[in-house]
Amino acid sequence: MVLGGKMKIIIIGGVAAGMSAAAKASRLNKEAELVIYEKTEVVSWGACGLPYYVGNFFESPNNMIARPVEKFIEAGMNIKIKHEVIAIDVDKKEVTVKNLVTGETFIDNYDKLMVATGAHAIMPPIKNLSTKGVYTLKDYTDGIILKEEMLKDENQDIVIVGAGYIGLEVAEAAKHLGKRSVRIIQLGDRVLLESFDKEITDVMEEEIRTHEGVELHLEEIVQEIVEENGKVVKVKTNKGEYPADIVVVSTGVRPNTAFLKETGIEMLGNGALVIDNHGRTSIDSIYSAGDCATVPHLVRKENVYIPLATTANKIGRIVGENLAGVETEFQGTLGSAAVKVMDVEAGRTGITESEAIKMGINYKTVFIKDKNQTNYYPGREDIFVKLIYDADTRVLLGGQIAGKKGAVLRVDSLATAIYAKLTVDEIGMMDFCYAPPFARTWDVMNVAGNVAK
Ligand code: FAD
């Protein structure tokens, strides 16, 4: 379908959400004038590759760029890099833009606007956090700088603050580079506290602890960065002091929406723009998606903040369609996500048990340990499955799988099952595929479904 209609569309931010919207809107409405303002020099790149770039799993940072900015411009896309939008007047429908090269500011008008400004790393209240040697891993340049430092021989003791997805992936990166010590310090009592239940994080923690030189500190607070000659040498916590050549702070992200505060646009407490299934914000003609916005949750039936590339791309595309005049809707997120740390991988979808408790629903769970495949084919490993389901209807509400081989992609079947509102009994009999290198005749998900009482 190609739509007509002259209008001016402005998109702020040129990565997953912004470029997905731009690509779709420009394809659907060839008459619309579209401008993308991006404050950095790179667009359309994948931050998800950063830990693997830093860990030297691949060499060139260009591998993370899906399409260079020049290619977009050649294709007729009006992208203004090094341009930051600093204010929006929602009544006049105009944005104030700062050219970061010349320092000049100017006004641009829109008929429809998309805010796709992403998020920034949270800096916790740690003394001397601006010391040299302390880094975050969020932006493209963060990756370049951190890798440069990680590759230096003199930097051997790595401290990671926070054990979420990024913290654990950085731990793997540092281990891959053969660093002398990799220390993960986590305020909470488990790794991946927000996204997985204890049964699964226990599996992850056990794996992390088997690796020589990798230390996991739980329920510990980093209080101070100790410097010598202007560079970090130690971190001080409430429990001890540890040597550090590099400190990576990975304690979560916060939406880049401070410049919208005066507009009266509806936000969550953390600044995430509240959007509906079309990607519409509370202000007419303004759309949003990605790490700066909420996501409608399919099971929780509320707007949540789960900043992931998967949803940024999908809702970005939906916004692109809506910007062009096609009223499509996002079906809702399940918060499906995956992580790998050294030799173990884990995936999750739907709600966790902690979320079920918060929702106050009548739920049950099942947790099993099984094998990923037959015993006679090389590579048999333990695999762990947890299912969360409605105690009355037996409909699946959430699932988490961890293991060394074949764990994560099984979670996609559970996501489909939740979307289709299948019961655990149906999962118990589902025709999952089988051949000796991949599964057992009764796959671990069949077993979990059948064990669910
Ligand atoms: P961003 O990618 O943050 O892009 C926003 C853009 O807007 C930026 O380029 C910024 O410069 C620009 N901008 C901001 N403010 C302005 C302004 N005022 N004017 C102009 N431009 C502006 N997700 C997954 O699903 N799986 C993973 O495995 C995964 N791994 C990750 C690993 C790391 C290390 C990181 C950091 C993230 C990871 N993510 C992962 C999350 C994923 O990268 C993000 O969800 C995704 O990049 C969000 O895209 P976005 O377009 O919303 O925001």
Please tell me the residue having the least CA distance from ligand 1 atom 42: 309
Catalytic residue numbers? 48
- Cα dihedral value 358, 334, 255, 252, nearest 10: 70
pLDDT score recorded for residue 6 = 84
The structure tokens listed for 383 are: 């695999």
DSSP reduced 3-state for 329 = coil
411-438 pLDDT, tens digit per residue, is: 999 999 999 999 999 999 999 999 999 9
Q: In the structure, which protein residues have their CB atom closer than 6 angstroms to any atom of ligand 1?
A: 12-18, 37-40, 47-48, 50-51, 84-85, 116-119, 137-138, 166, 256, 259, 290-291, 307-310, 312
Residue-wise DSSP of 91-152: TTTEEEEEETTT--EEEEE-SEEEE---EEE---S-BTTTSBTEE---SHHHHHHHHHHHT-
pLDDT at residue 444 tops 70: yes
171-211 pLDDT, tens digit per residue, is: 999 999 999 999 999 999 999 999 999 999 999 999 999 99
pLDDT at residue 287 tops 80: yes
Q: Which residue has the tokens 């992403």?
A: 118
Ligand 1, closest atom to CA 13?
7
In this prediction, residue 333 has a pLDDT band, given cuts at 50, 70 and 90, of very high
Question: Please, how many CA atoms are within 13 Å of residue 246, restricted to the half-sphere of its CB?
Answer: 29
Q: Report the distance separating Cα 414 and Cα 351, nearest Å.
A: 11
pLDDT score recorded for residue 5 = 72
Helix boundaries (H) for 303-440: 309-324, 353-359, 408-419, 424-429
pLDDT at residue 103 tops 70: yes
Amino acid, res. 263:
T
pLDDT score recorded for residue 1 = 63
Q: Report the distance separating Cα 352 and Cα 438, nearest Å.
A: 26
Instruction: Please state the rounded mean pLDDT for residues 50-61.
Output: 98
In this prediction, residue 241 has a pLDDT band, given cuts at 50, 70 and 90, of very high
Question: pTM of the prediction?
Answer: 0.96
2-21 pLDDT, tens digit per residue, is: 666 789 999 999 999 999 99
pLDDT score recorded for residue 4 = 62
> Which of 354, 337, 419 is CA-nearest to residue 388?
354
The percentage of residues in the chain with a pLDDT greater than 70, rounded to a whole number, is: 99
Across all residues in the chain, what is the average pLDDT? 97
Q: Give the mutation target among 10, 19, 39, 69 for probing the ligand 1 site: most ligand atoms within 8 A of CB.
A: 39
69-89 pLDDT, tens digit per residue, is: 999 999 889 999 999 999 999
